[in-house]
Amino acid sequence: MRSQKEISMGNKIVETIERFKLSGKAVETANLVIEDEEIQAIQDYSNTVSIKRLGFNDHGPVHMRTVAHNAVIMMGLLRDAKVKTSLEAEDCGCFEDSLTAVVLAGFLHDIGMSLGRHDHEMHSAYMAYPILDRILAKVYTNVQKRVIIRSLALEGIAGHMGNRQVYSLEAGVILVADGCDMTKGRARIPMHLLSAPKVGDIHKYSANSIEEVRLSSGKKRPIRIDVEMSSEVGFFQVEEVLLGKIAASPAKGYVELYAMVQGNEAKQYL
């Protein structure tokens, strides 16, 4: 059964696509993946492995929906700024095809966590392959389009950790969208389960200080990211996770990044 948070995030994805007037195949795809029982089951189990077995933060349905939502916002901001996606620039597809690939990548990028942390992005890619085929067959009749969008989604999935170079703007958006999901909600359950100090705890404590991550239109660049935190330990999350993912992303040149402790002046990174 889906939680209220999962339902809310699913609704936000569709609402954001429609708000940016990006409806059509992207909305159809979003609705299909939101309601898909196999995707829900694998997301749920990925979260169980991540939190209960490994002691990590949320890598389940809420996280994957949040990443998809972040990516949709960024895609809308890029389109408003008249930035062409890789598919558009290469005459391989339209913006909506790019958005469809991004939605799929966001929803499926962490399903490999159901096997464990090591190489989970590559596990996610081969586990996602048949799911992508199944979903895309319901949306696109053109085989070439299905192949292109599948490949683009797989690039976003396999490259979301930032340790493998990605080349498309669409995959770069997934990188940044994943890095932006670092608010304290992701660390809540692991913090409660924590019984003894262990390697990697700094990620949970730093994430627990992140109050809000806002995505909006920038002053000089299409995308502005504002990170608000309750204490300075949150700068670790910004500098060691988010900034690294932005630096590895083909979308880097379109992003402004600010971070601040509540009540203090914002620090500009990009």
List, for residues 30-75, the tens digit of each pLDDT value. Answer: 999 999 999 999 999 999 998 889 887 777 889 999 999 999 999 9
Averaged pLDDT, 151-177: 97
Confidence of residue 138 (pLDDT cuts 50, 70, 90): very high
Element housing 224 (H / E): strand 223-229
Parallel, antiparallel or unpaired: strands 223-229 and 255-261: parallel
Averaged pLDDT, 234-248: 92
- Asked if 72 contacts 102 with a C-beta cutoff of 8 angstroms, the reply is yes
Of residues 233 and 125, more confidently modeled: 125
| Residue 188: predicted pLDDT | 46
Averaged pLDDT, 145-169: 97
Give me the number of domains the chain comprises: 1
Confidence of residue 132 (pLDDT cuts 50, 70, 90): very high
Q: Which residue has the tokens 């979308």?
A: 251
- Asked if 120 contacts 45 with a C-beta cutoff of 8 angstroms, the reply is no
pLDDT, averaged across the chain:
90
Q: Which residue has the tokens 């995959």?
A: 171
| Residue 18: predicted pLDDT | 87
User: Domain containing 215: what range?
Assistant: 4-268
Cα 190 to chain centroid, rounded: 20
Of residues 79 and 187, more confidently modeled: 79
CATH of the domain at 35: 1.10.1300
The structure's pTM equals 0.90
Sort 198 into a burial class: Cβ within 10 Å, 0-12 / 13-18 / 19+.
Answer: exposed
Q: Which amino acid is at 203?
A: H
Separation between Cα atoms, residue 107 and residue 91, nearest integer Å: 26
| Residue 204: predicted pLDDT | 59
| Residue 1: predicted pLDDT | 67
| Residue 152: predicted pLDDT | 98
| Residue 21: predicted pLDDT | 81
Expressed in angstroms, the distance from the first to the final Cα of the chain is 41
Separation between Cα atoms, residue 234 and residue 212, nearest integer Å: 11
* 255 bridge partner residues: 223
